[in-house]
Amino acid sequence: MKKIDAHAHIGNFGGWANVGIDAERLVGQMEEFEIEKAVLCASGPSKNEDVLEAVKKYGEKFLPLVYLNPNEGEKCIEEGEKYLGGYGFKGIKLNPLSCAYVADSEACDPVMRLAEKYGAPVFIHSGHPPYSLPWSIALLAERHPSVKTVMIHMGHGHGVYIDAALKMARRYKNIYLEMSGMPMGSKIKEAYETVGRDRIMFGTDAPFHHPSVEIQKVLTCGLEEKGLKDVFYNNAAGLLGL
């Protein structure tokens, strides 16, 4: 079954995480688990050049996102213009947790307007208070209804946040869900059936999670073959215009 990984990184994450992967190892992992393409971002806003080099080397294996920090103001927008307009990156990555801003902060509005300008989806880390809770992401999506907003991890590891991710995605049609790191396989099926058959996507969050674990969550979620194909491949392909 064809797969697109809707959430992967290259680079090293120190501190509590102490994990890392480079482009060569990621491609090897993708080939081992029959992942055709990966939506790729760097380890942080200062590392976008790493993703550009990976795309130059491996071409269509990667669908690149530019990682931005809205706290940087005009510098952030210039970085986004450079990679979206200059290098043809496919979308934007935001991580309110790592960059210390609340997801619905007004600082994010210029980034969302930039995304609208380029028709680019915005992928936002979710699941950690106080910065990246589903309700805050939903408030941002509400202000920018024409921007496709992907709630990475669909609430992550807390059942209350997972439930909120589903509720917010049902309320706002521009919210999409990605399931890496979210432990409840049954919620993948629930999202498919109640949020929208085109708005839930497979991801690994490489190098944080192993593909075998994330793949099994999808395979055992209870969907029939058509649903599995949508989650593994079709929905990410549709979101990114493949």
> What mean pLDDT is reported for the chain?
97
* pLDDT 10s digits, 121-163: 999 999 999 999 999 999 999 999 999 999 999 999 999 999 9
Which residues of the chain have a pLDDT value below 70? none
pLDDT recorded at residue 44 = 97
Assign domain 4-239 to its CATH architecture.
Alpha-Beta Barrel (3.20)
**In 3D, which of 177, 167, 174 has the Cα closest to residue 200?**
177
The phi, psi pair for 150, rounded to 5°, reads: -95, 120
* pLDDT 10s digits, 153-163: 999 999 999 99
